[in-house]
Amino acid sequence: MSMTPEQAAWFADVAGRIVTNVEQVLLGKTFVIRLAVTTMLSEGHLLLEDVPGTGKTSLARAMAQSVQGSTNRIQFTPDLLPGDITGISVYDQRTQEFDFHRGPVFANIVLADEINRASPKTQSALLEAMEESAVTVDGVNHRLAAPFMVIATQNPVEQAGTYRLPEAQLDRFLVRTSIGYPDHAATVRILETSSAPSASVPLPSVVPAATVTEMAALARTVHVDPTIADYVARLVDATRAAGEVRLGVSVRGAMGLVRAARVYAAVQGRHYVTPDDVKALAVPVLAHRLVLDAEAEFDGVSATSVVAQLLVETPPPADRAAS
């Protein structure tokens, strides 16, 4: 059963209210917030590549407050252990049994701050959580909260003492983007209201967490025309054939683009996906999944520019997706 126009209108209204609510904290970043909300409603995870002080923690906290959800922040450091993320089993002498003590990953929205500062072994502790919404400790499977979303950050400038995220982990982030500095007008507004720390400013909730789960399920019913699926497949094929690329987009990445496009269309109030939805999301969903040829990187080619060029070279289908 496909989403109806009435359901699409309701979806857009709720998503719009969440975006507006979060924008009270993150001024002048409507598109980034819309991307984050799209990621959450796609049941995906978000990677923010940004310098310190741009509002990454504020974004995670504001989104959790908007959906009546819980949030935890994990500061990744070289000495962080996998158990510091997932939790550990502790022996209780009274009961003579092991009790599982939940780690900070058990929250609706988890901020993994400076994720590339931890060792690959510790980073991999998040892989099962991100893919299965569960963690396994001592052979016991523990389900995570629903909805569940990881917002990870890494500093693209200071690389001393950092570990590059492995491709398998990058592939599990649905979207990569950056918040960036606010424009002049937004900066002035921030400074005028900066008397109190942002952490002390409560944000009203818009919807309960259960509604987010309901919206995610509803988004799966957004209509995707075969021509749209063909367009995504041609884009993905083009990334694999590009001369500057050593490793192109995986099938998981192609599926992620379609999944995100469904949500992005519903956020716009449509019950069908258009080529423009795919174009709007192609760079944030696909670019971080590319592994560039070393010579291309040396020449200053970026994954973002490769995807942008492929969008120009790959003709979209005629817009008949509503039919």
Task: Give the CA distances from residue 317 to residues 41, 234, 257, 287, in Å, rounded to whole numbers and listed in that order.
Answer: 26, 11, 16, 22
Q: What integer pLDDT is reported at residue 153 of this predicted model? A: 87
How many Cβ atoms sit within 10 Å of the Cβ of residue 25? 20
Instruction: Look up the CATH number of the domain holding residue 258.
Output: 1.10.8.80
- The DSSP 8-state label assigned to residue 116 in this structure reads G
User: 102-121: per-residue pLDDT in tens?
Assistant: 999 999 999 998 888 888 88
**Global pTM value:** 0.90
CA distance 272 to 137: 41
Q: How confident is the model at residue 212 (pLDDT cuts 50, 70, 90)?
A: very high
Q: What integer pLDDT is reported at residue 321 of this predicted model? A: 46
Give the rounded percent of residues in the chain with a pLDDT score beyond 70: 94
In the numeric block, the tokens 């944030």 are attached to 284
Instruction: Look at residue 104 and tell me if it is in a domain.
Output: no
Give the rounded percent of residues in the chain with a pLDDT score beyond 90: 52
Instruction: Look at residue 53 and tell me if it is in a domain.
Output: no
Neighbour-count burial for 251-277, b at 16+ CB within 10 Å, e otherwise: eebbebbbbbbbbbbbbbebbbbbbeb
Instruction: Look at residue 193 and tell me if it is in a domain.
Output: no
Please measure the distance between the N-terminal and C-terminal CA atoms of the chain and give it in whole angstroms. 15
User: 34-70: per-residue pLDDT in tens?
Assistant: 999 999 999 999 999 887 777 888 888 898 899 988 8
Q: What integer pLDDT is reported at residue 131 of this predicted model? A: 87
User: 68-94: per-residue pLDDT in tens?
Assistant: 888 899 999 889 999 999 998 888 888
Instruction: Look at residue 242 and tell me if it is in a domain.
Output: yes
Instruction: Look at residue 101 and tell me if it is in a domain.
Output: no
User: 120-147: per-residue pLDDT in tens?
Assistant: 888 888 888 898 899 988 888 899 988 9
The residues, any chain, with a CB within 8 Å of residue 248's CB and separated by 6 or more, are: 236, 237, 239, 240, 241, 242, 289, 290
Domain of 244, in residue numbers = 223-317
User: 156-180: per-residue pLDDT in tens?
Assistant: 766 666 777 878 888 889 999 998 8
Total domain count for the chain?
A: 1
Instruction: Look at residue 59 and tell me if it is in a domain.
Output: no
CA distance 109 to 128: 16
